[in-house]
Structure 1
Amino acid sequence: MDSNIEFARKHGYTKTILGRKRYLKDINSGNQTVRSGAERVAVNSPIQGSAADMIKVAMINIHKELIRQQLKSKMLLQVHDELVFDAHESEIDILKKLVVENMVQAMQLNVPIEAEVGVGVNWLEAH
C-alpha cells in the first residue's frame, strides 16, 4: 500500500492493472488533511480501478461469446462486481459456464479468481 502512495507522490497519479491513470493533484499537498485524502485515493484507486478493468474485459469477452454461440440470453447491466443477464431458461447451464469461465479468465493474475453464479426470476432471488 505504501508503494502506491510513493508511486503517486513521484508521478502524480496512480494506475490500474491495464494502465488507466487517475491523477492526484493533492498527493503532495502541504495540507495534511488534503494530502491524507489523496493518499487514501492512491491506495484505493488501483484496487477498485483494476477490478473495473477486469469486469470490463470479462463483459467484452462474454458479449462476443453470446454472439458467437448465437445465444438468445442478453447481458443487461453491471452492478459493481456483478453482471445481470436476461437468460433464456434453455440456456441457463450454458450461460452459467460461459460467465464463470470468462470472469475467472479475464486476466492472468498471481492469485486465483473465483466467480459465482446465482439464478432467479429477479436480482434478489438470484442472491
Structure 2
Amino acid sequence: NVLISADYNQIEMRILADLADVKELKKAFKNNEDIHSLTASQIFNIDIKKVDKDQRRKAKAINFGIIYGISQYGLAKQINVSNYEAEEFLNAYFAKFPEIKIYMDNTIKFCRKSGYVNNIFGRRSHFNSINDKNFNVRNFQERAAINAPIQGSASEIMRLAMIRIDKKLEEEKSIKSKMLLQIHDELIFEVKKSEIKKMMKIIKDEMISVANSDYHSFSIPLTVDINSGNNWGELH
C-alpha cells in the first residue's frame, strides 16, 4: 500500500475572493495565476514578471495576514520591516483590492450590530465582546470576526468533501483503499497500488464538487493538489 495526500490549493484565499467579490483575485484564480506574485506586482507597482522572491514572500505574508486581520505592527514584525513600511504595504493592498476592505468593514459592522457572523453555509460564530469597552478585547474580537467566515467555511468545505468521498467509497464496493485522517486542509488515504489512479480521480472529483452544493455555489473554481508516496515525508 501507499499513501495519498490531497489538499485544497489556497482555499482560504479563494473563499475571501468569493465572499468579498474581489474581481482582480477571481480573475487570477480563473486564469490559474500565482496569487502572491500578482499581489506583489500590485503592491510594489511593478510588472508581475519582475517580481523577485523577497517581494513575493512579503506579498504572501500580507495575503495570509489579511485573512487573520493582521495589524501593521504584526505585519512589520513578520516580514521584518518598519511599522511605517508595513502600513504603506497594507494601504497599497487595500487600494488595489478595495473589495476586501469593504468586506472587512461590513463584516465588523454587521457583527457589532448582531453579535455574530455567518460562514458561506449559514453557520454562525458568536462574538459577544465585540462592543467591549476594552480596546484589546474589542480589537481581538473584530479580527476573529473577519476570519471566522473564511476559516469556518474552509473547515466545512473539508468536512463536506470527506463525507462525499466516504459515500463514494461505500458505493464502490470493490475498492479496498480507505481514508485515514485529516490534517488541517489535507486528507490522507491508505491506498492499494492497483487503485492509485482510480482513487486519485475519486478524491479529486469529490473535493472539487463541493464548490457547487445546495448551500453555496462558488464563483471561482476550487483546485486540489494530490500526491502519492510510501510515507508522509515523501508526500511533501
Q: TM-score, normalised by structure 1?
A: 0.95
Q: Name the % identity.
A: 43
| Structure of higher CA gyration radius | 2
1:73 pairs with 2:177: yes
Residue 73 of structure 1, CA deviation = 0.7
Q: Check whether the contact 2:179–2:190 (CA below 8 A) recurs between aligned residues.
A: yes
Q: Which residue of 2 aligns with 1:103?
A: 207
User: Which amino acid is the alignment partner of residue 42 of structure 1?
Assistant: A
Structure 2: give runs of 5+ residues left out of the alignment: 1-103, 213-217
The Cα shift of 1:21 comes to 1.1
| Structure (1/2) with the larger helix percentage | 2
1:91 aligned residue: 195
The SS at the match of 1:117 is strand
Residue 18 in 1 paired to residue 121 in 2? Answer: yes
1:40 is displaced (CA, Å) by 0.5
Alignment partner, residue 34 of structure 1: 137
* Whole-angstrom CA distance in 2 between matches of 1:43 and 1:124: 34
- Structure 2 counterpart of 1:40, one-letter code: R
- The runs of 5 or more residues in structure 1 that have no matched partner are none
Give 2:156's aligned amino acid: D
Q: Which amino acid is 1:94 matched to? A: K
Q: TM-score, normalised by structure 2?
A: 0.52
Matched position secondary structure for 2:235: coil
Are the aligned partners of 2:117 and 2:125 in contact in 1 as well (CA < 8 Å)? yes
Q: Is the 1:73–1:88 contact (alpha carbons within 8 Å) kept by the matching residues of 2?
A: yes
Q: Which residue of 2 aligns with 1:125?
A: 234
SS at match of 1:85: strand
Matched to 1:116, the amino acid is: D
Out of 94, 115, 121, the residue aligned to residue 224 of structure 2 is 115
**Comparing both chains, which one has the higher relative contact order based on Cα–Cα distances under 8 Å and sequence gaps of 6 or more?**
2
CA contact under 8 A between 1:62 and 1:98: conserved in structure 2?
yes
Report the counterpart of residue 61 of structure 1 in structure 2: 164
- Give the SS at the match of 2:189: strand
Secondary structure (helix, strand or coil) at the match of 2:176 reads coil
- Alignment RMSD: 0.9
How many residue pairs match? The answer is 127
Q: Would the aligned equivalents of 2:211 and 2:221 in 1 still touch at CA under 8 Å?
A: no
The runs of 4+ residues in structure 1 deviating greater than 6 Å are none
Distance in structure 2 (CA, Å) of the matches to 1:20 and 1:41: 15
